[in-house]
């Protein structure tokens, strides 16, 4: 079976982007990826666009995005897996090369979430759960969903509000070094702890923002990749799983089983273990989500996620640095773009191109963890320099 590598990456500035429409926003990252790969656009045979949609004006974004970027007559489609749409796009582009459809493919993630008012956004995101049962009957929104997990984790393992706030402080620290991040200012632990309660115990600084943004990666078969670059980043393993949309059917609320299963599958395919990972991006839509991800992905034992953040194990120089781009929390979370953005970050880390945010790379292994909903979908992608 042919190997597939990431050979080019591109990224837009994240934030409130009233200066562009969705096609122009996507083009920012496509242009960067094409230039980074040094590939002729005519060589790109498939373009997969990850976008949850519903926030912006285009209901058929894939064709609009490709046409504006000058990608004519390519095979294309839009994929949706809620907040994991970006990783689903990378997986689909990867599959297109494995299947022999072409030697070069591209995954683009894009979302423009600030074109609607906040309350409409809250409803759109709330619909990502079990809409008729949880949203209509009980008024559940996503802060409330993750507050449920936070309270369960606190009760069982002694996790504290301060532990979650430490995740926010770390995110803003690294976001301050990322020119693409929505939030580029550091915060103190006191500021995070003292921020407005959104859904107890989660506060304003425990939550990711609504964001506009795009990211793109170009993939190539081994033969083409070795011609294009001296630093290919190989897709070594992809694991994905799902869970019930109705939270009342979940067995517990201290982790996401879909993440556990997706991680197991990715590690098995890549023939690596959690301790081999040099650097990771984890889906931190809320700070409790990052702590649970440490545990679900095997970076520590269950219940020890808070210990990792307290002891600095997920900082640069720590055992497994996590979210050195600021994560969803500070970089921003344009839903369809997030998984692709994570792949961009890990590719740069493995190529030693992350500047002040650079993690020490010993094994040449990085990990992308991308969740849709509250574990409705989960994708784990293992990337490697070898």
Q: Which of 11, 153, 283, 333 is catalytic?
A: 333
**Token pair 């034992």 in the structure block, residue:** 301
CA distance 132 to 368: 32
Instruction: Assess if residue 380 is contained within a domain.
Output: no
Task: Please enumerate in sequence order all residues whose Cβ is within 8 A of that of 42, keeping only pairs 6 or more positions apart, or say none.
Answer: none
| CATH number of the domain to which 45 belongs | 3.40.47.10
Average pLDDT, the chain: 95
Instruction: Assess if residue 372 is contained within a domain.
Output: no
Instruction: Assess if residue 349 is contained within a domain.
Output: no
Q: Write the DSSP symbol of residue 152.
A: H
Do residues 49 and 246 touch, judged by C-beta distance below 8 A? no
Report which of residues 158 and 54 the model is more confident about: 158
Per-residue confidence (pLDDT) for residue 131, from 0 to 100: 66
Q: Which of 11, 83, 173, 283 is catalytic?
A: 83
The number of C-alpha atoms within 13 Å of 384 and in the hemisphere containing its C-beta is 18
Q: Which domain holds residue 47?
A: 4-116+210-228
Percent of the chain whose pLDDT exceeds 90: 89
Instruction: Assess if residue 77 is contained within a domain.
Output: yes
pLDDT of residue 72 exceeding 90:
no
pLDDT tens digits, one per residue of 36-59: 999 999 999 999 999 998 889 898
Per-residue confidence (pLDDT) for residue 133, from 0 to 100: 66
Task: Give the range among 1-10, 99-108, 127-136, 151-160 with minimum mean pLDDT.
Answer: 127-136
CA distance 375 to 302: 17
pLDDT of residue 136 exceeding 70:
no
Q: How far is CA 306 from the centre of its chain?
A: 21
Q: CA-based angle 21:25:8, to the nearest 5?
A: 160
333 is catalytic: yes
Q: Which two tokens stand for residue 271?
A: 């023939």
CA distance 92 to 336: 14
pLDDT tens digits, one per residue of 274-311: 999 999 999 999 999 999 999 999 999 999 999 999 99
Report which of residues 352 and 140 the model is more confident about: 352
Per-residue confidence (pLDDT) for residue 243, from 0 to 100: 95
Q: Which residues pair with 69 in a beta bridge?
A: none
Instruction: Assess if residue 157 is contained within a domain.
Output: no
pLDDT tens digits, one per residue of 222-281: 999 999 999 999 999 999 999 998 888 899 999 999 999 999 999 999 999 999 999 999
Instruction: Assess if residue 39 is contained within a domain.
Output: yes
Percent of the chain whose pLDDT exceeds 70: 97
Instruction: Assess if residue 345 is contained within a domain.
Output: no
pLDDT tens digits, one per residue of 347-381: 999 999 999 999 999 999 999 999 999 999 999 99
- pTM equals 0.97
Alpha helices, DSSP H only, in the chain? 22-37, 61-68, 85-98, 118-126, 137-138, 142-157, 161-175, 189-193, 222-228, 257-270, 287-296, 305-310, 327-331, 338-350
Instruction: Assess if residue 44 is contained within a domain.
Output: yes
pLDDT tens digits, one per residue of 163-191: 999 999 999 999 999 999 999 999 999 99
Length of the chain: 386
H/E element holding 213?
Answer: strand 212-221
208 is catalytic: no
Number of domains composing the chain: 1
pLDDT of residue 326 exceeding 90:
yes
pLDDT of residue 1 exceeding 80:
no
CA distance 336 to 355: 26
Do residues 354 and 278 touch, judged by C-beta distance below 8 A? no
Q: Is the peptide bond before 60 cis (omega within 30 degrees of 0)?
A: no
Per-residue confidence (pLDDT) for residue 137, from 0 to 100: 61
CA distance 30 to 46: 13
């Amino acid at each position: 079976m042919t190997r597939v590598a990431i050979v080019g990456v591109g990224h837009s500035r994240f934030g409130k982007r009233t200066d562009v429409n969705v096609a122009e926003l996507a083009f920012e990252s496509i242009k960067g990826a094409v230039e980074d790969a040094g590939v002729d656009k005519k060589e790109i045979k498939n373009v997969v666009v990850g976008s949850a949609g519903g926030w912006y004006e285009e209901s058929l974004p894939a064709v609009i995005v490709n046409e504006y970027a000058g990608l004519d007559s390519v095979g294309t489609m839009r994929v949706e897996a809620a907040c994991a749409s970006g990783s689903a796009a990378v997986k689909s582009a990867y599959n297109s090369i494995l299947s022999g459809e072409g030697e070069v493919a591209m995954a683009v993630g894009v979302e423009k979430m600030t074109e609607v008012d906040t309350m409409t956004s809250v409803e759109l995101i709330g619909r990502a759960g079990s809409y008729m049962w949880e949203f209509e009957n009980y008024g559940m929104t996503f802060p409330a969903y993750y507050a449920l997990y936070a309270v369960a984790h606190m009760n069982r393992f002694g996790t504290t509000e301060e532990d979650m706030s430490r995740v926010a402080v770390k995110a803003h620290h690294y976001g301050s070094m990322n020119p693409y991040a929505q939030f580029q200012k550091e915060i103190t632990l006191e500021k995070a702890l003292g921020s407005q309660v959104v859904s107890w115990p989660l506060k304003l600084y425990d939550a990711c923002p609504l964001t506009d943004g795009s990211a793109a990666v170009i993939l190539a078969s081994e033969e083409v990749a070795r011609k294009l670059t001296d630093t290919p980043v190989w897709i070594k393993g992809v694991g994905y799983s799902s869970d019930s949309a109705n939270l009342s059917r979940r067995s517990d609320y201290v982790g996401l089983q879909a993440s556990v299963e997706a991680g197991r599958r990715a590690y098995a395919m890549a023939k690596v273990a959690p301790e081999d990972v040099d650097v990771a991006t984890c889906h931190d839509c809320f700070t409790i989500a990052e702590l649970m991800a440490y545990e679900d992905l095997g970076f520590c034992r269950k219940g020890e996620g808070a210990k990792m953040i307290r002891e600095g194990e997920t900082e640069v120089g720590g055992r497994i640095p996590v979210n050195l781009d600021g994560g969803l929390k500070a970089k921003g979370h344009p839903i369809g773009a997030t998984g692709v953005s994570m792949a961009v970050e890990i590719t740069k880390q493995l190529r030693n191109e992350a500047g002040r945010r650079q993690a020490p790379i010993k094994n040449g292994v990085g990990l992308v963890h991308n969740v849709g909903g509250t574990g409705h979908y989960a994708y784990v992608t293992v990337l490697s320099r070898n």
